[in-house]
Structure 1
Amino acid sequence: MEAVKISPKFQVVIPKKIRESLQLKSGQKMQIIEYDNRIELIPEQDIASMQGFLSGINTDIERDRDRL
């Protein structure tokens, strides 16, 4: 765990080790969530990078007739 300071403009710098580990890029958008008395930053992914992430998922489930 690394400590960061909040600037007078309420900005923080993500440590280099974390930026590299998560392959974050300058200008990349992040989702910010307040959860359980903490702040979580979640990198947004563009839709093209998500193509095929559900391939191989088992779709053999019982469905209601109105959901076919």
Structure 2
Amino acid sequence: MLEVTLSQQYQISIPQEIRDLLNLQVGQKFSVVLKNDSITLVPQPSIQSFRGVLKGANIHNVRDRSERV
């Protein structure tokens, strides 16, 4: 288990091992989730990481606006 210390400016450094494992980049944004007494940092993916995610998607059986309720 890795340990970090909260600085006087209330900052925490993410250890190199974790940054490499998650491929974190300088300036990347995180969502902060508080649950009970636990803080979770969730990296927000960049819009570029979604490029090509729908490539080859089947769009032939998509409902038309007239079929919506």
Report the counterpart of residue 33 of structure 2 in structure 1.
33
In structure 2, distance between residues paired with 1:18 and 1:46: 18
**Which runs of no fewer than 5 residues in structure 2 stay unpaired?**
57-66
Compared with structure 1, are the counterparts of its residues 52 and 39 closer, same or farther at alpha carbon in structure 2 (3 Å cutoff)?
same
Aligned position for 2:49: 49
Please say which structure displays the higher CA radius of gyration: 2
> Structure 1 segments of 4 or more deviating over 6 A?
none
- Paired residues for 1:8-27 under 5 Å: 8-27=8-27
Match of 1:6 in 2: 6
TM-score, normalised to structure 1, is 0.71
Report % sequence identity. Answer: 36
SS at match of 1:11: coil
CA distance in 1, matches of 2:45, 2:18: 17
TM-score (norm 2): 0.70
